[in-house]
Structure 1
């Protein structure tokens, strides 16, 4: 199949909307495939790379792929990869992925591009792996597409980035299975990370919302952004690439302010930042989960440095499960720092329908080990 791959143009919007409908129906949770205003903004955004593939001769639109970038964090995200159902046998998905990632990396401003991949079939996993992406973990129950789906997390790195990793000597022991899976699947060395068992003293002292307290939700996006920037003027304290808070959750006593990117369409919520410190919210995990569930999100994730043992331990003690590790995610000076994705879902997790390729298999075992240690009681037997 001969195609012409070129940047998307404003006149392509109507055809692109039809393409995403043909591929996903009404279930596509990303507005770049359905909202003309969002599509127009992204096509004209200099920080977004959007490529289309058209059949040679007829000009029929056969595929689309996008990499959105966050220039301040040197990171991008592969989104919107779609190939028309009648054009899927010619390797077009792989060609589009390679082309759009190549365009994103060309100017040297990115250290990595990540992708969250559906796991209903192994095909999308093979597409990204063949294009240099490495598997980083799982996001169980992370998206509402055709029902509640788990996603695989993959990333592709620019040359010379991984050797700049800042090593970490200790991490909570609960991360052991995840780090072992990452070393097996990516080749990134984690064997020298020693366990640090601090879970017993991880919960912070100070004001705490009662476990049954309702959280107030402020969902005025303009106010939330202004308040967020006032409380976190230093970019180092609000690091969450490609996510901006659109709501803030507050307990009645004002003990903390939890800034979230809440997406009811996808059924997910990213916990972007917490004032006055990340672990302050761990006292109120149950009301937080109840609040975002009422708002339409059954999945909550947060992102913490692998080196921040205290915050990691607090979230682990409060029921979050380590699901992915992103090596060299953040550059500070000349060194790159690893981050851990912690997640919790209020729905029952069902892995029976997953099509898990070989590179992701170790992460399934690691997640099940961590989930079991978190949520199943350890019975003591007296002899």
Structure 2
């Protein structure tokens, strides 16, 4: 990566100048104090809580970590992770001290890095972010920067309570020009696609009414017998040597390193997962298997992580494999977001669909979301009711 250099001075009325700059190792304690000030001790992202991970990110060329400083105090922080190979970036961890929020520091910090990596240095084709829903501010911030609304993550993280997050992304012209067109999706995904399509003028999708082995919900999905491996270094080395096969070739999970392996006793199936005990969140990163049904693997994973006290499990599947999309829905993974151009393979980019399964009671009373995100939530809830409630009554009537 080309040398990083970002700095901006903001004149603040009644206060000393605010300096926005790249974070240094010497800032680490003050950064942690800022997150503790705003979120208490419950902030779940490991890169904030773990000093070794924080140091590595600050020193690593594949991160842009900005801080805003005033009178020796860190009063703002923001992180961008950059994947140079896949030309993706993720913005996260934006936080500003309460007394400095009228200065648009979050907007300025996000804009500085966004322009640098998409224009000045041309490092990435897209940048995505997940925004909290405790209030409208994070959603309006990304909207003002030109980010497109892509969906929601229901009950995804637990800070004090289960939180629903929004998915949003900024697309360069290159990201959309290299996109594989005409996704092939099951009808249940179509409403999510249409919400995104209206924002960035995509072509109509091709719908597939495909049925699978367990589409008849009276037929119970058999479970694989999983054992768990949580040895961090072992997983890290094994994952580097593992090439996903079968339906795992059609999934995508950026910026996640697995820290859990679910493995069958005969080693015929290994599923690599990132999970967090702190916020009860888990995502499927990849795997190898000789099992023929994706629904069987997903149902087995869901049951296992539920026993491990997870509240949420997620898988992202490409938008050109309707059989796998149907398998996911048959395993009661509900679509909640549509991500155009998410996955880069060679010179093409591929759309993906976010599916998730939650094990806690859905409670959206404290969710504050704007405009189109409400449409995503409505579509998600419609499918959730169909798959978790109405199916029961339908089967009883039959």
Equivalent pair of 2:263/2:269 in contact (CA under 8 Å) = yes
Aligned ranges 1:169-188 → 2 under 5 Å:
169-184=183-198, 186-188=199-201
Distance 1:306 1:335 in 2: 14
SS of the equivalent of 1:174 reads helix
Distance 1:294 1:317 in 2: 20
For this pair of structures, how many residues does the alignment match?
373
The structure 1 residue matched to 2:237, chosen from 223, 226, 239, is: 226
The structure 1 residue matched to 2:364, chosen from 351, 372, 377, is: 351
Show the counterpart of 2:52: 37
Equivalent pair of 2:183/2:319 in contact (CA under 8 Å) = no
Aligned ranges 1:281-320 → 2 under 5 Å:
281-320=294-333
Structure 1 position 196 matched with structure 2 position 208? yes
Aligned ranges 1:1-383 → 2 under 5 Å:
1=12, 2-55=17-70, 58-105=71-118, 106-184=120-198, 186-190=199-203, 192-201=204-213, 210-211=222-223, 214-232=225-243, 239-276=252-289, 280-378=293-391
Equivalent pair of 1:306/1:340 in contact (CA under 8 Å) = yes
Distance 1:196 1:89 in 2: 49
Distance 1:286 1:307 in 2: 22
1:229 Cα deviation after fit: 3.6
SS of the equivalent of 1:198 reads coil
Distance 1:130 1:269 in 2: 30
1:290 Cα deviation after fit: 3.4
Distance 1:166 1:351 in 2: 35
Distance 2:43 2:190 in 1: 35
Change (3 A) 1:173 1:277: farther
1:158 Cα deviation after fit: 2.3
Alpha-carbon RMSD: 2.6
Change (3 A) 1:224 1:31: closer
Distance 2:351 2:183 in 1: 12
SS of the equivalent of 1:132 reads coil
Change (3 A) 1:288 1:335: closer
Change (3 A) 1:158 1:20: same
TM superposition score normalised by structure 2: 0.86
Moved over 6 A (4+): 233-238
